[in-house]
A and B are shown apart, each in its own frame.
Chain A
Amino acid sequence: MKLRLENLRKSFGDTLVLDDISLDVAEGQMVCLIGASGSGKSTILRCINLLEPLDDGAIWLDGQDIAAPALDPQPIRQRIGIVFQSFNLFPHMTAAENVMLAPRRVHGKSRDALLPEVSALFERFGLGDRMDHYPDQLSGGQQQRVAIVRALAMNPEIMLFDEITSALDPELVGEVLEVLTTLKREGMTMILATHEMDFAQSVADHVCFLDRGRIIEQGHPDKIFDAPTQPRTQDFLSRVLRRR
């Protein structure tokens, strides 16, 4: 297994937000987390990226427990990319500077040395002419693609995506989902928190339905979407699928 979550437990104050979460993600797999707002999808992703400390449980990355409390999170984060719903680009830097900052500081590479690699990334995601634009000069879809490029520039082994299309106008969602499809084709290991049910059903290898911090049903997307066994899953899906 590339990544294994084992009995994750996490609370904020008195509220248990993750309750005994276990999940296996194989190399090159795309796993989608679905579930109602507040069910804990973002928290799982933030814990994997070590932005939130766990209360209990282990996260195995290539056999190493990265959730061990005394571990230095910095080298681990370099191996796991995350993209957020609200892009979180650095507004005072151009798109290219956003992308180059981490490789420059972490790997000590110069701008010139990075340029070929970075322009190739921009080119690949249709952003070749946007490298010198500031975030507020870009559309939402372009900003989100820059955020993806920024994470990819560190050559991560796993990518986490937290509802990356939720803040986008409907006509811009497609261009960002397309990027995910490309990455999947290239064999990237990915975990998505998403409300895009069509996308999850057609592209994901594995879907987890979360309810109040628990994975109450998981499996192949066809099984989850077409024949859910849990009443809560049926209820949630009937609500969101009716809406589309």
Chain B
Amino acid sequence: MAGNQGGVTRRQEYEKRLRRRSLFVAASSTLAVLLAIVVLVPRAPGWERVQQSFFNAEVIAKTFPKLLNAFLLDVAIFAWSAPLIAVLGLAIALARDVRNPVLYPLRLFGIVYTDIFRGVPVVLVVYLIGFGIPGLGLPRPWNSPYIWGTLALVLTYAAYVAEIFRSGIESVHASQRNAALSLGLSGADAMRFVVLPQAIRRVIPAQMNMLIALQKDVALLSFIGPVEIFRQAGVFKSLLANFTPYVVAAAIFLVVTVPATRLADHLIAKQNRART
């Protein structure tokens, strides 16, 4: 019974000691590296200049509020694109899955669509649609770069999101669909009530990664007009002849994307654990 007092086994005792030790080692080595950076980097010959143009406290103070404000536009574009992407992506995924020969054109459309929009760089789609369609001389508000820029993002991302949905649908074993059909459900009901709910649950982590990528790619709309954070930083850069605004913009992105990435990774890890 030795070592089993108070419900703690010898093994647990040992692992606890081990954990404490590795925590200590990790903390001290991290501290050492940080210290080296803080002490050594400022000694580099060009540090003064780099600090002046990239990490300028004065510029940070002056530009931060406006950059944050511009970032709200990124968030807004993101917020209205994301649901459209989800709906269109799901529709395309389902179109690629139809079995009815009458609807074959729909299936063909799904295939061609995903091929095209996954094959062209996002920037190009943004340029072509963002400049091309307003170039038709449409009346206000239909010449707005917000509309067409958003459309470009929606079209491109829907192609990727559709592929992820489709992989989810295919990962649900055929026996689930057969069980639903054997009860007398229609093919559409089997998809809607049995296959899709399981498929969507499985691809949530992967779709979260798409959302994070989308949040960053909203900055591409800066090329066609909207003064979102990246463009605002560019304006400040020219105005102040200083790169600090870009660093501030990057930091603002990180504040949003890092927690989101961690969450997605956490969800994926949880799912992998559940599956084994």
Contacts and interface: CB of A to CB of B under 8 A. Distances in A.
Interface residues of B, number: 17
Contacts of B193: 90, 101, 105
A49 B186 contact: no
B185 A88 contact: no
A15 interface: no
By secondary structure, the B interface counts as helix
A49 B180 CA distance: 12
Nearest to A101: B193
A74 B185 CA distance: 7
A82 B181 CA distance: 10
Contact of B175 (A74, A78, A86, A154): A86
Nearest to A104: B193
Contact of A88 (B176, B197, B201): B176
Contact of A77 (B182, B194, B197): B182
A84 interface: yes
B181 A51 contact: yes
Interface string B53-90: 00000000000000000000000000000000000000
A77 B175 contact: no
A91 B175 contact: no
B184 A88 contact: no
A92 interface: yes
Contacts of B269: none
Given A91-B198, A92-B198, A78 B179 contact: no
A237 to B, nearest CB: 30
B170 interface: no
A195 interface: no
A127 interface: no
A170 interface: no
B183 A88 contact: no
B189 interface: yes
Contacts of B198: 90-92
A13 to B, nearest CB: 18
Nearest to A87: B179
Given A75-B184, A78-B184, A88 B189 contact: no
Interface string A84-122: 101011111000000001100110000000000000000
B178 interface: yes
Contacts of B183: 77-78, 81, 101-102, 106, 150-151, 154
Contacts of A82: 182
A20 to B, nearest CB: 25
A73 B187 CA distance: 11
Contact of B184 (A77, A86, A89): A77
Most buried by B among A78, A89, A105, A150: A105
Given A92-B197, A101-B193, A105-B193, A77 B178 contact: no
A49 B201 contact: no
Interface string B157-177: 000000000000000000110
Contacts of A73: 181
28 contacts: A49-B182, A51-B181, A74-B185, A74-B186, A75-B184, A77-B181, A77-B182, A81-B182, A81-B183, A82-B182, A84-B179, A88-B175, A88-B178, A88-B179, A89-B179, A90-B176, A90-B180, A90-B193, A92-B201, A101-B180, A101-B183, A101-B185, A101-B193, A101-B194, A105-B186, A151-B182, A151-B183, A154-B184
Given A51-B178, A74-B186, 15 more contacts: A77-B181, A78-B184, A88-B175, A88-B176, A90-B176, A92-B198, A92-B201, A101-B185, A102-B180, A102-B183, A105-B185, A106-B183, A106-B185, A150-B183, A151-B182
For the complex of A and B, list the 5 residue pairs with the smallest distance between their C-beta atoms, beginning with the closest.
A78-B184, A102-B183, A88-B179, A77-B184, A82-B182
